[in-house]
């Protein structure tokens, strides 16, 4: 084996160590192959949910995300995370919880300098969706509730609370999801059971239900007057369970 190979191994080991040292609440290992999402069935989704549930205040931190991405461009990655859609008033305080587990192929961004990245991708997506619609000559940027970190574009902070989130653009067709329901009839010894999207949506607020059941992901940008299907999500770090990027796998320790 030549010196270049050993240098590559050393660089990988140093990268893994840097990510690990930035966040003791995660375990970092080498991940062979590509960083595309693994298969997500009901059983695998339940294991992800078990690992995350009750650990919303631990897990990934902003330093770990920045260390894992560790570049100035675009990083293709896969993420596994859990969200809890808001319930309608009639179901609040009843012990009912709806959970959605997702495993997604995403784009993450390091210390990029192109701050028009989002608008450029929206315009490309709008043109692919319907090449007959008139695109704006100049994009108007609306205020957001978050701001990007100087160290890592995919780490954003809430403008008021300063809590960190993951900023990710989702690759088309790269998301698998499973839905789970916990209701008061299961008692304190039970756990979530697999459920259909329609069944879970019945417990949600009208706005959450509409978004939850929207499978075409078409968004109308009112400010700029365009329809597009680019999916951008800002995810609470407490909901993240696993990130695979740059041939590393980082998973929260339950």
* Model confidence pLDDT, tens digit, residues 57-70: 778 998 999 999 98
* Model confidence pLDDT, tens digit, residues 26-67: 899 887 666 666 678 999 999 999 999 877 777 899 899 999
What pLDDT is attached to residue 5?
44
* Model confidence pLDDT, tens digit, residues 152-209: 999 999 999 999 999 999 998 778 899 999 876 655 546 889 999 999 999 999 999 9
Higher pLDDT, 217 or 90: 90
String of DSSP letters for the chain: --HHHHHHHHHHHHHHHHHHHH-TTEEEEE--S--PPPP--HHHHHHHHHHHTT-TTSS--HHHHHHHH-SSSEEEEEEEEEE-PPBPGGGTTTT-EEEEEEEEEEEEE-S---TTHHHHHHHHHHHHH-TTSPPPSSPPPPP-SEEE-SS-TTEEEETTT--EEEEEEEEEEEEEEEEEEE-GGG-TT---EEE-HHHHHTTB-HHHHHHHH--S--EEETTTTEEE--EEEEEEGGGEEEEEETTEEEEE--
What pLDDT is attached to residue 170?
94
Q: Work out the angle between the directed axes of helices 3-22 and 62-69 (0-180°, nearest 10).
A: 170
> Residue 8 above 80 pLDDT?
no
* Model confidence pLDDT, tens digit, residues 116-125: 889 999 999 9
> Residue 6 above 50 pLDDT?
no
What pLDDT is attached to residue 121?
92
What pLDDT is attached to residue 34?
61
What pLDDT is attached to residue 221?
92
Domain segments of the chain: what residues?
34-55+73-241
Contact 143, 154 (CB under 8 A): no
CA distance 98 to 203: 8
What pLDDT is attached to residue 182?
87
């Amino acid at each position: 084996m030549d010196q270049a190979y050993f240098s590559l191994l050393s660089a990988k080991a140093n990268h893994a160590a840097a990510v690990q040292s930035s966040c003791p609440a995660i375990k970092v290992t080498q991940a062979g192959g590509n960083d595309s999402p693994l298969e997500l069935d009901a059983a695998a989704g339940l294991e992800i949910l078990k690992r995350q549930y009750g650990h919303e205040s631990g897990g990934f931190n902003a330093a770990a995300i920045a260390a894992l991405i560790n570049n100035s461009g675009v990083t293709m990655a896969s993420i596994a995370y859990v969200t809890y859609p808001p319930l309608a008033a009639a179901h609040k305080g009843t012990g009912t919880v709806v959970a959605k587990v997702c495993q997604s192929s995403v784009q993450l961004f390091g210390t990029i300098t192109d701050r028009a990245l989002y608008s450029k991708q929206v315009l490309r997506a709008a043109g692919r969706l319907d090449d007959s619609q008139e695109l704006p000559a100049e994009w108007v940027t609306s205020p957001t509730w978050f701001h990007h970190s100087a160290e890592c574009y995919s780490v954003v902070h809430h403008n008021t609370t300063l809590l960190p989130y993951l900023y990710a653009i989702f690759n088309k067709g790269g998301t698998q999801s499973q839905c789970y329901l916990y209701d008061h009839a299961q008692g304190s010894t039970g756990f979530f059971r697999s459920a259909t999207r329609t069944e879970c949506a019945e417990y949600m607020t009208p706005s959450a239900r509409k978004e939850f059941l929207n499978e075409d992901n078409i968004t109308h940008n009112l400010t700029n007057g365009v329809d597009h299907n680019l999916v951008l999500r800002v995810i609470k770090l407490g909901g993240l369970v696993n990130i695979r990027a740059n041939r590393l796998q980082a998973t929260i320790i339950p």
